[in-house]
Chains A and B, each alone.
Chain A
Amino acid sequence: KNEVEQSPQNLTAQEGEFITINCSYSVGISALHWLQQHPGGGIVSLFMLSSGKKKHGRLIATINIQEKHSSLHITASHPRDSAVYICAVYSGGGADGLTFGKGTHLIIQP
């Protein structure tokens, strides 16, 4: 069973700061997902990646398959980025579905 660990659990930063959230997993995977859970509870997918790096606006996700590690970066952070960011992995084969980390609660102060 894959174990997904995220760090930090909580992060408070000032508007404009560069944010990094880390995710590590214990067993090889087919894909890794980053999701955002809004304060109202809704969950949206940000990225799915299996290698390298992806960028969408101010968000950048990277993955190192050999080290079993991924990072989510937010550049020029803004209060509207305040949310819980969740890392999840898909191990492939056998049971379907994702294995989730506990999330990183991010607060960006003006």
Chain B
Amino acid sequence: NAGVTQTPKFRILKIGQSMTLQCTQDMNHNYMYWYRQDPGMGLKLIYYSVGAGITDKGEVPNGYNVSRSTTEDFPLRLELAAPSQTSVYFCASSPLSGGTQYFGPGTRLLVL
């Protein structure tokens, strides 16, 4: 099992550009999450999903969108990138609400 995979590993965007961060898990987990990690700060929840077709906002959803068409995939879309979105993004999955979470390797995003 590959676990949780994320692509790309690193990306530089110009202000106003858009991109999609990909996340795939092969553990058949219903729960999936997107977090961002800023230097000196704890991870913050952007969006989460409790199953295919069901998504909801977390603590910091502004500037992002998600979809969940399959159990495996949970892409995060950035529209009109801003410097404030410079961060490391982690995708995670879990078999249970509040259960152990399995993290992807992260995507480092720089918006200039």
Bitwise, B52-66 to A at CB < 8 A (1) or not (0) is 000011110000000
- Residues of A contacting B57 in the complex (Cβ-Cβ under 8 angstroms): 95
Determine the residue in chain A with the shortest Cβ distance to B40. A102
Total interface residues on B, CB under 8 Å, equals 27
Total interface residues on A, CB under 8 Å, equals 23
The one of B31, B42, B59, B106 that contacts A4, using a Cβ cutoff of 8 Å: B42
The one of A30, A45, A103 that contacts B98, using a Cβ cutoff of 8 Å: A30
Task: Report the separation of the CA atoms of residues A41 and B10 in the bound assembly, to the nearest whole angstrom.
Answer: 13
Interface residues of B (CB under 8 A from A): 31, 33, 35, 40-45, 48, 50, 56-59, 88, 90, 92, 97-103, 105-106
Interface residues of A (CB under 8 A from B): 4, 30-31, 33, 41-45, 48, 86, 88, 90, 92, 95-103
For the complex of A and B, list the 5 residue pairs with the smallest distance between their C-beta atoms, beginning with the closest: A100-B42, A90-B98, A97-B45, A43-B103, A100-B43
